[in-house]
Structure 1
Amino acid sequence: MTPDDQPDGDDLQTPASTWVYRGARDALALPAWVVALSLVGVGGLAQSVGHPVWAAMMSTLVIWAGPAQVIFYGGIAAGMTPLAVAAAVGFSSVRFFPMTVAILPLLRRPGQGFWAQCAAAHFVAVTVWTENLRRLPGKPPPARLPYYYGFAAACILLSTLSTGAGYFLVGALPTPLAAGILFVSPIYFTLSISAGARVPADWLAIALGFALEPPMRALLGDGFDLLGVGLVGGTAAFLFGQMLEGRR
């Protein structure tokens, strides 16, 4: 936790615009660049199906999920109907539901409007979620939502620009570099989750995530494997944590 994250009397008087700036600044320090790199390839997919560059960039703003965007353009390339493509994208994003449920209590304030919560839910993505779940508890409650907005907005805007850049860079990147970019996001995600682990149950959840993925993929196939891992591994880690709490 940095000195800026330490709540004090001055923090309670800090205007919301300053917290938005701090969120954007922290995102641009590294996290936003990581998620932006992972979306470079989406621009190339858009070009391959004949979409204009503005449509590729709009897909990042609206869908805001790299795997779902891959499904979106893959479905278009396969000739799927718009309804089928929309259903596939929707099902692929079910994984964000438990993430949203976990982070909204940190952002919700008395008197907060419905649309403010909907906007916060839209910004949920893997990098935004992991970083803010770790950073928000150390900030005063009134500052959390503006900080989150600043952080998430920096991530999504930089990713939109990288999607546009990828549209024109398709075919220009060396194969090893393009392959390496694909691994940046999962490696960073793993490190970020590990940095936020505080109790044995957290570490068990991480270990079970790695251990259960291969059998779940074989059992459930692509698309539902992560849901299975989260349900089984997360439940086991939660029960383990409750058991440890009961022994104290």
Structure 2
Amino acid sequence: MRHGIGMPGLVLFASYLGYGALLQGISFPLGAGMLSTFLVWALPAQVILVGGLSAGTALPALALAVTLSSIRFLPMVVSIAPYMRGPKRSLLLELICAHYVALTLWAEGLRLLPHMPGQARVPFTLGLGNMLVTLSICATAVGYYMAGEVPLPVAAALLFITPLFFTLVMVRGAARAMDWMTLAAGAGLTPLVQHLDGGLDLMVAGIGGGTLAYFISRSLRRRSRA
């Protein structure tokens, strides 16, 4: 929980200030917006959700759009799930830990959890996740009531802080040539897929860039051995 109060929590707090201001701007109920932070806790999906509800989008279409936007978390959960298990397996705890997997917890978890003893991983994940969600809910309320004081460009910039922080964390954690190739490939694919519908752009750029970097790395290793 102390770790969550640090830079990861500050970044999320600033991002959800922008989300709260967005709720005020489209006259969306604050209570429902805070509930979306607690239950969804995925900022792009939340923006799609509240925007679609405010615009009167059909619920099945809106549910599909939110689902497609959140599919990008599947590779994250799969990659970090082994590190969120304690010495004694508990399906309930593992499902709760998986709910907290978002960009911030995933990046910080991959950096810190592998170096922790097994019995400390679940408590750390739950403590960090609960603190981050709590800060996000509080920031949603603060941003809502500050909306009249925050210009629209500033609110948009606050929403941008989370992906920017995530990118910096990935750059900081890049230690191998494969890591740098993956980041470069994902960044290179992003302009080509940014107009895809349903929030698939990030998933396609991430998985596509990682796959491309993997095959390039394999090809370079084979040539070096030849």
Query: Quick check: TM above 0.5?
Result: yes
| 1:23-34 correspondence to structure 2 within 5 Å | 24-34=1-11
Q: Measured at CA, do residues 72 and 29 of structure 1 come closer, stay the same or move farther in structure 2, by a change above 3 Å? A: same
TM superposition score normalised by structure 2: 0.90
- Work out whether residues 49 and 76 of structure 1, in 8 Å CA contact, stay in contact via their aligned partners in 2: no
More off after superposition, 107-116 vs 92-101: 107-116
Q: What's 1:231 paired with?
A: 207
What is the distance in 2 between the residues matched to 1:245 and 1:137? 27
What is the distance in 2 between the residues matched to 1:224 and 1:159? 24
What is the distance in 2 between the residues matched to 1:124 and 1:201? 24
**RMSD of aligned alpha carbons:** 2.1
Q: What's 2:121 paired with?
A: 144
What is the distance in 2 between the residues matched to 1:110 and 1:32? 28
- AA aligned opposite 2:18: G
Distance apart, 1:124 and its partner CA = 0.6
2:91 to 93, 98, 114: 114
Q: What's 2:108 paired with?
A: 131
TM superposition score normalised by structure 1: 0.82
1:6-46 deviation digits (Å, cap 9, x = unpaired): xxxxxxxxxxxxxxxxxx11121111110121122322333
Q: What's 1:11 paired with?
A: none
Q: What residue ranges of structure 2 are gaps of 5+ in the alignment? A: none
Q: What's 1:154 paired with?
A: 131
Question: Is the partner of 2:89 in helix, strand or coil?
Answer: coil
Q: Measured at CA, do residues 222 and 92 of structure 1 come closer, stay the same or move farther in structure 2, by a change above 3 Å? A: closer
- Work out whether residues 120 and 149 of structure 1, in 8 Å CA contact, stay in contact via their aligned partners in 2: yes
**1:91 matched to 2:68:** yes
- Work out whether residues 205 and 233 of structure 1, in 8 Å CA contact, stay in contact via their aligned partners in 2: yes
What is the distance in 2 between the residues matched to 1:83 and 1:110? 41
Q: Measured at CA, do residues 144 and 239 of structure 1 come closer, stay the same or move farther in structure 2, by a change above 3 Å? A: farther
How many percent of aligned residue pairs carry the same amino acid? 40
Aligned residues: 224
- Work out whether residues 72 and 202 of structure 2, in 8 Å CA contact, stay in contact via their aligned partners in 1: yes
- Work out whether residues 42 and 163 of structure 1, in 8 Å CA contact, stay in contact via their aligned partners in 2: yes
Q: What residue ranges of structure 1 are gaps of 5+ in the alignment? A: 1-23
What is the distance in 2 between the residues matched to 1:197 and 1:61? 31
Distance apart, 1:50 and its partner CA = 4.2
What is the distance in 2 between the residues matched to 1:216 and 1:176? 25
| 1:52-201 correspondence to structure 2 within 5 Å | 52-201=29-178
Distance apart, 1:215 and its partner CA = 1.2
Distance apart, 1:48 and its partner CA = 4.4
Q: What's 2:185 paired with?
A: 208
What is the distance in 2 between the residues matched to 1:175 and 1:69? 18
- Work out whether residues 189 and 205 of structure 2, in 8 Å CA contact, stay in contact via their aligned partners in 1: yes
1:156-203 deviation digits (Å, cap 9, x = unpaired): 100000001111112311345334323322221111111111211111
Distance apart, 1:84 and its partner CA = 2.7
Distance apart, 1:231 and its partner CA = 2.4
What is the distance in 1 between the residues matched to 2:46 and 2:156? 18
Distance apart, 1:154 and its partner CA = 1.0
- AA aligned opposite 1:231: I
- Work out whether residues 85 and 94 of structure 2, in 8 Å CA contact, stay in contact via their aligned partners in 1: yes
Question: Is the partner of 1:198 in helix, strand or coil?
Answer: coil
What is the distance in 1 between the residues matched to 2:216 and 2:129? 32
What is the distance in 1 between the residues matched to 2:168 and 2:28? 35
- Work out whether residues 73 and 101 of structure 2, in 8 Å CA contact, stay in contact via their aligned partners in 1: yes
